[in-house]
Chains A and B, each alone.
Chain A
């Protein structure tokens, strides 16, 4: 076994994974395609099978600012799970992308009807998507805004006199 690519599906228990995949549609997007826009209705989500997607936000006059990129195995979109079901960021393909696409209404209904399935999916979204990305964002913040004069670059001259 290698550590590569368990991704979102790999973290779901097998039974729930199979159930989720029975309602998946296989889709593909060309490079450079906008998948969704910030503020739009989060009525679908995707699990990437190949290719990369950039999450971005727009600032008037400055264009798109890429916040993060997602790759193989990653969950694209979690705003569909929580009200108000609107995208917090936009998404655009970096390369040609193949993905499993899911209908948000359908999955939310399944979550409501089957608490075990709901718990597994919600736990997976929280752990894999939100938790991991939150830790990454915090690491990035701490790195970007570390106190000046710390010794972390000392052996390349950074904090030395």
Chain B
């Protein structure tokens, strides 16, 4: 029998840590039981299999050697099963799949990272990478929009990002009575970001409507569209570009994405037939 390649056969990983992020979202940290997946890059995703239930695509919200961190929101059968895992449980993982953020392409530039809701999870390793190499980049600004204060992810990381020099701004759609921060959609935070449009790069992840509005606003402010990188969502299934579930025009986002330059995404998003 021929051995299946790692992108086709799930590799056993064990949950070594689990932490609640919000009321319905948890961070799970996985370690390989024996062999590990090939090295993963920020922005890529993996197919994570809850045995007996099914598999779903999950972005990498942390990469530490062979340790993989995923942030999962419990909304469907598989995601609920993964959300409910406890340390010691085993899952199957295929991957890594897709394109990464390619931070190297932004060397020497100001970085503006914009996250909407769960979109902060795949951006987390990007922020960590940028903070890990401070002389390589200019100013680092992180703009975060979330529905309610209780939906905010990475709260402990945010304190550390600020302590390490990142300029972090947060806004919510629906404040509670204790919220004293900004209220409104994340695009309104762009006025707070300090960057030189001619020498900046932007990285966006979140609801597509937010990505479109934010990318257009960046372009309006003079940021070159090829320096705006966006992470797009379609239903990833096979992860290898064969099944076509994640097709967006000429792109198969599990292979050609999820991270693409705005120059590639912009002409496709308004096409009704797609």
Contact = CB atoms under 8 A, between A and B. Distances in A.
Interface of A: 1-5, 7, 52, 54, 63, 66-69, 71-74, 94, 132-133, 135-137, 139-140, 142-144, 146, 151-161
Contacts of B126: none
26 contacts: A2-B194, A3-B193, A3-B196, A3-B221, A7-B191, A52-B182, A66-B175, A68-B188, A69-B182, A72-B192, A94-B180, A136-B184, A137-B185, A139-B209, A139-B213, A152-B233, A154-B56, A154-B235, A155-B58, A155-B233, A157-B56, A157-B72, A158-B75, A159-B233, A160-B75, A161-B78
A63 B175 CA distance: 13
A152 B173 contact: no
Contact of B73 (A54, A137, A158): A158
B256 interface: no
B40 interface: no
A152 B208 contact: yes
B140 interface: no
Contact of B182 (A71, A132, A135): A71
A72 B56 contact: no
Nearest to A157: B79
B90 interface: no
Contacts of A156: 25, 58-59, 71-73, 79, 118, 121
A67 B173 CA distance: 8
A160 B78 contact: yes
Q: Considering the complex of A and B, which 5 residue pairs feature the smallest CB-CB distances, nearest first?
A: A157-B79, A160-B56, A4-B194, A156-B118, A142-B209
Contact of B191 (A72, A140, A154): A72
A161 B150 CA distance: 24
Contacts of B192: 4, 71-72
Interface in B189-221: 190-197, 200, 207-210, 213, 221
A66 B234 CA distance: 33
Given A2-B195, A154-B234, A140 B73 contact: no
Contacts of B268: none
- Which secondary structure characterizes the binding site on chain B? mixed
B82 A4 contact: no
Interface string B125-160: 000000000000000000000010000000000000
A5 B184 CA distance: 17
A67 B17 CA distance: 38
A74 B188 CA distance: 10
Contacts of A153: 73, 75, 117-118, 233
Contacts of A73: 191
A137 B185 CA distance: 7
B207 A66 contact: no
Given A135-B187, A158-B75, A161-B56, 10 more contacts: A54-B183, A63-B177, A94-B180, A151-B235, A154-B234, A155-B59, A156-B118, A157-B56, A157-B76, A160-B78
A144 B234 CA distance: 19
Contacts of A4: 191-195
A67 B167 CA distance: 24
Nearest to A1: B196
B171 A69 contact: yes
B222 interface: yes
B74 interface: yes
Contacts of A154: 56-57, 233-236
A105 B67 CA distance: 65
A14 to B, nearest CB: 19
B75 A157 contact: yes
Contacts of A74: 191
